[in-house]
Structure 1
Amino acid sequence: MKASYKKYILNFKRPSGTSRGILTEKETWFLVLEKNGKTGVGECGILRTLSIDDRPDYEKKLKWVCENIHLGKDKLWDELIEFPSIQFGVEMAFLSLASKSPFELFPSEFTEGKKSMEINGLVWMGEQAFMKQQIEEKLAQGFRCIKLKIGAIDFQKELDLLHFIRQNFDEKTIEIRVDANGAFVLNEALDKLNQLSGYKLHSIEQPIKSGNLNSMSELCKKTPFPIALDEELIGVFGLKNKEQLLEKIKPQYIILKPSLVGGFKGTLEWISLAEKLNIGWWITSALESNVGLNAITQFTFTLNNLMPQGLGTGGLYTNNFDCPLFIKNGRIYYNPNENWNFIL
């Protein structure tokens, strides 16, 4: 078996605002396996400044994987515990190599084009007028669940945006999720949650910065509406540590990004622990190309979670790869008659 890797820069169609600044491009890496005339492709979707494996020896570790590919998927996964995005790329590449088609990793009624999944429409941070425009676009596109990034502009302006949605749509018509990306300061967080609760929100992701376990645990006890952990899960290795974190904080939900938590296997570990503790969960992509998004979407379908998932990021780039995934009326579909255009 021959293994190689290649870096690829994805360019955003428009600068996209997050609490960590404005994104204009996104780096990703592809792991390519070749054996007996077949090819397997995996995406190592590192998210700089957020991924635990954002470190100087990242490319060196990819090189090591290629030199030690003979170890096989399971042994490599164990050896790569501190590199969750490479764990995911390795899982994906081996699965791709073993599949009938390199991009049909989990054959199902989804990949046959018979079933679809509901997803949330993502509204990026920006000035109030830009966010309002995005909200109107998502509603016009038929999304029933909208996720708003908050914490970048004046809090009152963000409340005004929520008021704008709720003036026109009640919570039965439009589900609103907000994501603070840890933007609230500790002594103001509960007050802000109380103000937000008037808008009948489904949940808030990561209201305060990760690592404040006692404060987050208190918030989860006192919050007037559900809290979902996101960044809090990054860099938590081993089943015991994962279980201790969930038992300590007792969140209402966790959000799983396979590129950040160790791929399919890491995601399934979190799910089994969460379900044991009656904690809800959903899966989201983390700005991967369509290669990673396709793998995450096919995997998610097999888990039969009927909540809206966070899988709508494929249309963000000018130089993504054409693929069978498409979004219509707030749902993601797979068209088996559509071909891939994957050229590195």
Structure 2
Amino acid sequence: MIAEYYKYLLKFKRPSGTSRGVLLEKETFILEIFQDDKKGVGECAIFRGLSFDDKPDYEEKLQWLCENINRDSEYLKDELKEFPSIWFGYEQAVLNFKNGKNLYFSSEFTEGKTPIIINGLIWMGDIDFMEEQIQEKLDQGFHCIKLKIGVDWKSEHQILQKLRHKFSKNQLELRVDANGGFTKDEAKVVLQQLADLDIHSIEQPIKAGNWNDMADLCAETPTPIALDEELIGIIDFSEKKKLLETIKPQYIILKPALVGGFSGCDEWISQAEQQNIGWWITSALESNIGLNAIAQYTFTKCNQMPQGLGTGSLFTNNFKSFLELKGEKLFYKS
């Protein structure tokens, strides 16, 4: 078996506001493995400024993987444990090599029979832009919307109040993501304001790494808290268990590219379920290659909550998509 990789720059259709600033392009790496006439493709979806493996020797490690592609997978996993997005790309490439075509996990989803329900994501921006996006999602039939908050809370709070005044919690589920935008004291106030509006959950109200402060908030919060960035860089299984036991969150958010691929997600899910912690899966600006694999994996986990999967429509130069969005339902085009 031989392997090679190449870098690919995804270009945003319009500048996209995130917790990492405004993005114009997104760097990613495509891994391909070959043997005879068979081929497997995966995406090493590094997220600069956020990924644990955003390191100067990233491409060196990717080249090392290509040179050692025939080594035992357990050996490779151990060697790549500090490079979760590279391991994620390797997992995809091997599964695709095994299953052929554009398949990673076979299911009713990849047979085109059953869709995945997703939430509608509202990008950061001024009030008019955010309200325009919200109206678009409502018109498309979304029943769960996720808003980024923590930049201008006063205005964001007003938007949420307007939405809740217009739609009850039974009509519209509202999730918010603060990306660590509040202090602990600010978060206490915001959590109550969100509870007054029947908000489903808030992701990462304070910066990651403050386990004790986050544990205090989770113990008393009137609004369920979901950990997101908090999971990044927690590699060892024992450390994952310790984090969940210490903080006791209501939910965790799993981004395969950031937490060690499908096997990394499986470890988090097993621990969360043992501790009665809810979870859902989210994409992280992957190309259509990684997004396709994440969607196929997500379906196999049988989680009925709306998932946080993108649709690949953000970029002007994306790869061919095998996913199709009809309202809030994500279908695989078999």
Q: How high is the TM-score relative to the length of structure 1?
A: 0.96
How far apart are 1:322 and its partner, in Å? 1.9
Q: How does 1:3-82 map to 2 (within 5 A)?
A: 3-82=3-82
How far apart are 1:313 and its partner, in Å? 4.0
- Counterpart of 1:149 in structure 2: which amino acid? K
How far apart are 1:225 and its partner, in Å? 1.2
- Counterpart of 1:53 in structure 2: which amino acid? D
Q: Report the aligned-residue RMSD.
A: 0.8
Aligned residues of 2:88 and 2:256 also touching (Cα < 8 A): yes
Counterparts of 1:18 and 1:90, CA distance in 2 = 27
Counterparts of 2:94 and 2:163, CA distance in 1 = 44
Deviations 1:260-315 (A, max 9, x none): 00001000000000000000000011100010000000001011000000112411
Paired residue for 1:293? 291
Paired residue for 2:87? 87
Aligned residues of 2:285 and 2:310 also touching (Cα < 8 A): no
Counterparts of 1:74 and 1:267, CA distance in 2 = 17
Figure out how many residues of one structure are paired with residues of the other and give that number. Answer: 334
Aligned residues of 2:40 and 2:100 also touching (Cα < 8 A): no
Paired residue for 2:324? 326
Paired residue for 2:260? 262
How far apart are 1:323 and its partner, in Å? 1.8
Aligned residues of 2:324 and 2:333 also touching (Cα < 8 A): yes
Paired residue for 2:218? 220
Paired residue for 2:145? 146
Paired residue for 1:113? 112
- Counterpart of 1:135 in structure 2: which amino acid? I
Aligned residues of 2:203 and 2:226 also touching (Cα < 8 A): yes
Counterparts of 1:178 and 1:273, CA distance in 2 = 24
Deviations 1:129-154 (A, max 9, x none): 100000000100111100000112x2
Q: SS in structure 2 opposite 1:69?
A: coil
Counterparts of 2:194 and 2:155, CA distance in 1 = 12
Q: How high is the TM-score relative to the length of structure 2?
A: 0.99
Q: SS in structure 2 opposite 1:22?
A: strand
Q: Does 1:100 align with 2:100?
A: yes
Paired residue for 1:123? 122
Counterparts of 2:194 and 2:228, CA distance in 1 = 19
- Counterpart of 2:301 in structure 1: which amino acid? L
Structure 1 regions of 5+ residues with no counterpart?
Answer: 337-344
How far apart are 1:35 and its partner, in Å? 0.3
- Counterpart of 2:98 in structure 1: which amino acid? A
Counterparts of 1:19 and 1:63, CA distance in 2 = 30
Aligned residues of 1:210 and 1:231 also touching (Cα < 8 A): yes
Counterparts of 2:117 and 2:221, CA distance in 1 = 27
Q: How does 1:233-244 map to 2 (within 5 A)?
A: 233-244=231-242
Q: SS in structure 2 opposite 1:78?
A: helix
Of 332, 335, 340, which residue of structure 1 is paired with 2:333?
A: 335
Of 198, 208, 211, which residue of structure 2 is paired with 1:210?
A: 208
Paired residue for 2:192? 194
Deviations 1:303-333 (A, max 9, x none): 1000000112411111111222011111100
Aligned residues of 1:77 and 1:87 also touching (Cα < 8 A): yes
Aligned residues of 1:312 and 1:327 also touching (Cα < 8 A): no
How far apart are 1:74 and its partner, in Å? 2.9
Aligned residues of 1:285 and 1:313 also touching (Cα < 8 A): no
- Counterpart of 2:133 in structure 1: which amino acid? Q
Counterparts of 1:74 and 1:11, CA distance in 2 = 35
Identify which range, 5-14 or 70-79, moves more after superposition: 70-79
Aligned residues of 2:204 and 2:228 also touching (Cα < 8 A): yes
How far apart are 1:75 and its partner, in Å? 2.1
Q: SS in structure 1 opposite 2:289?
A: helix
Q: SS in structure 2 opposite 1:297?
A: helix
Counterparts of 2:316 and 2:22, CA distance in 1 = 17
Aligned residues of 2:311 and 2:323 also touching (Cα < 8 A): no
Deviations 1:127-183 (A, max 9, x none): 01100000000100111100000112x211001110121121111011000000000
Counterparts of 1:288 and 1:49, CA distance in 2 = 15
How far apart are 1:72 and its partner, in Å? 3.6
Identity percentage of aligned residues = 60
- Counterpart of 1:126 in structure 2: which amino acid? G
Deviations 1:195-245 (A, max 9, x none): 122111100000000001110000001111100000000000111000000
Counterparts of 2:18 and 2:321, CA distance in 1 = 26
How far apart are 1:116 and its partner, in Å? 0.4
Q: SS in structure 2 opposite 1:71?
A: coil
Counterparts of 1:277 and 1:28, CA distance in 2 = 34
Counterparts of 2:133 and 2:146, CA distance in 1 = 11
Q: Does 1:317 align with 2:315?
A: yes
